[in-house]
Homo-oligomer: A and B are copies of this chain.
Amino acid sequence: MSLERVGEGMHALISRLYPICRSITGPGVRETLAIVREEIPLAIHEVPSGTRAFDWTVPQEWRIRDAYIEDAAGSRVVDFRRCNLHVVNYSRPTRARLTWSQLDQRLHSLPDRPDLIPYRTSYYAESWGFCLAHHQRQALAARGDGAEYEVVIDAELSDGFLTYGELLLAGESSDEVLFSCHVCHPSLANDNLSGVAVATQLARRLADRPRRYSYRFLFLPATIGALVWLSQHPASLPRIKHGLVLTLLGDGGPLTYKRSRRGDAEIDRIAAHVLTRSNMSQRLLDFEPFGYDERQYCSPGFNLPIGCLMRSLPGEYPEYHSSADNLELVRPEHLADSWQTCAAIVDVLERNRTYVSLNPQGEPQLGRRGLYGTLGGKAGRAELEAALLWVLNQADGRHSLLDIAERSGLSFDLIAKGADMLVEKDLIREQPQAS
């Protein structure tokens, strides 16, 4: 499948998921996961409200049917059915008649981007509210403070479940690579759905090929979902050797890797190698404890080697957390680039091994093994011959192929190709890892 087709496929999945009103609990997440399950064999887990997850508790399930603000003339001036961002996410049920000056205190808008509807949430604190374009808010204000409105949030908060999706692709080793994305934002395309689409496509690609590592994909409500998973899988944690949080992967920003808390984990070095050698614009950022679920994975009690792959940063692009984070913002070509980068990182992970030379004293005679030009004396040297010599020189059981690529300045791919040739000629063998 061409890269272009892959990008279009991911955009199509996002388009299907975009209208759904997701929240941290409730039917929106279930619908979302059901659609993802059409693509990959996701296991879907339901965790009861009230379940403890470290310092947190799974909240009640939120089900919203309708929400609106109706003016005295019976016209719905703000209507959840037109855009699910209009209601503050997780608002408690409400039915009231309010004057404009009372209602105004419950409204959220963006004065500096007056055409956009903001995205707001009210998790873990009983509240309610509406979001609307600032232009509209000003028009309503012009009707006078005394104007009256019927306000309805036809929602339900009750004991139920937190829902998440999980896929484990077992590999040769039980050591795991974790990919995690969030599924709790309503109609926001870049912020949650781009990560869902790239993770889904990556799982599809990995499903039908041999795998050195086992790969675990998590589709979770942010924060509480990650904490629930972490609290319920203590035995899995030591197996997680590498990981990436996938988010904000569909916009036109530069590919951005945010390092794990460790800063020099293998995933950090691999992501840096892949990004800096690509010809796409890119950035490498140090860890900081804000952002997405890397906050949880990299908390001091876990300190997992998990970084975050993004394009724009949260808050960096003007459409962030607003109605403009939509299907036009997210482009197939950006999704394709992001997916290709993930695939390249996985490729290095799979191939990054450590070798010992079986002929460590001096160089082996490559010429008689057909690995070297036999007519000596020519200036210049093929890059592959350089790769062979670098691998042989560094094959002391203490340098991985990534180490050798970094020291030599050659691409990981060339170094790995050289190592394969040397293995075939019995000149090096893999060093069992301490783990």
On A, residues with C-beta under 8 Å from B are: 53-56, 88-89, 118-125, 127, 223, 226-227, 230-231, 261, 288-290, 295-296, 298-303, 314-315, 320-321, 357, 359-365, 367-368, 374-381, 386, 389-390, 392-396, 408
Known: A289-B393, A379-B314. A122 touches B374 (CB 8 A): yes
In whole angstroms, how far apart are the Cα atoms of A54 and B227 in the complex? 57
**Pairs of residues from A and B, 8 with the lowest C-beta to C-beta distance, nearest first:** A301-B360, A301-B361, A315-B379, A289-B393, A300-B396, A125-B374, A289-B389, A121-B376
A-B contact pairs, 21 of them (CB 8 A): A53-B362, A54-B362, A121-B376, A124-B374, A125-B367, A127-B374, A223-B363, A227-B362, A230-B361, A288-B386, A296-B363, A298-B393, A299-B357, A299-B362, A299-B363, A300-B357, A300-B393, A300-B394, A303-B396, A315-B379, A321-B379
Contacts of A379 in B (CB 8 A): 314-315, 320-321
Q: Are B321 and A377 in contact (CB under 8 A)?
A: yes
B375 & A231 in contact (Cβ 8 Å cutoff): no
A55 to B123, CA, bound (A): 69
Q: How distant is the Cα of A383 from the Cα of B178 in the complex, in angstroms?
A: 31
A356, closest chain B residue (CB): B300
How close is A1's CB to chain B, nearest CB, in angstroms? 36
Q: How far is the CB of A431 from chain B (nearest CB, A)?
A: 12
CB-based contact B124/A381 at 8 Å = no
Min CB distance A62 to B, Å, is 14
Chain B residues closer than 8 Å to A374, beta-carbon distance? 122, 124-125, 127
User: Which of B289, B320, B368 interacts with A390 by CB under 8 Å?
Assistant: B289
Q: Knowing A289-B393, A379-B314, A393-B261 are in contact, say whether A361-B120 is a contact too (CB < 8 A).
A: no
Distance (whole angstroms) from the CB of A275 to the closest CB of chain B: 22
Central interface residue in A88, A314, A321, A363, by most chain B CB within 10 Å: A363
CA distance A88 to B374 in the complex (A): 13
Q: With A290-B389, A390-B289, A392-B289 in contact, do A361 and B122 touch (Cβ < 8 Å)?
A: no
Interface centre among A288, A298, A381, A386 (most CB of B within 10 A): A288
Give CA–CA (A56, B359) in the complex, Å. Answer: 11
Tell me whether B393 and A120 are in contact (CB under 8 A): no
From A227, A374, A395, residue with most partner B Cβ within 10 Å = A374
Let me know if A376 and B320 touch, CB within 8 A: no
Known: A120-B376, A380-B315. A226 touches B362 (CB 8 A): yes
Provide the bound-state CA to CA distance between A87 and B178, in Å.
62
Q: Establish whether residues A299 and B122, one from each chain, have CB atoms under 8 Å apart when the complex forms.
A: no
Q: Which residue of B lies closest to A293 (CB)?
A: B362
Please indicate the chain B residues that have their CB under 8 angstroms from the CB of A298 in the complex: 393
Chain B positions within 8 Å of A376 at CB level: 120-123
Alpha-carbon gap, A303 to B378, bound state (A) = 27
Contact A299 B393 (CB under 8 A): yes
Shortest CB–CB separation between residue A259 and chain B, in angstroms? 12
Q: CB < 8 Å: which of B121, B300, B375 contacts A377?
A: B121
Contact A124–B365 (Cβ < 8 Å): yes
Residues of B within 8 A of A320 (CB): 379
Task: List the B side residues contacting A386 at CB < 8 Å.
Answer: 288, 290
Q: Indicate whether A359 sits within 8 Å of B55 (C-beta atoms), given known contacts A123-B376, A379-B320, A396-B300.
A: yes
With A and B bound together, what is the CA distance between A360 and B390 in angstroms?
43
State the CA gap A289–B396 with chains docked (Å): 14
Instruction: Please give me the residue from chain B that is nearest to A394 by CB atom.
Output: B300
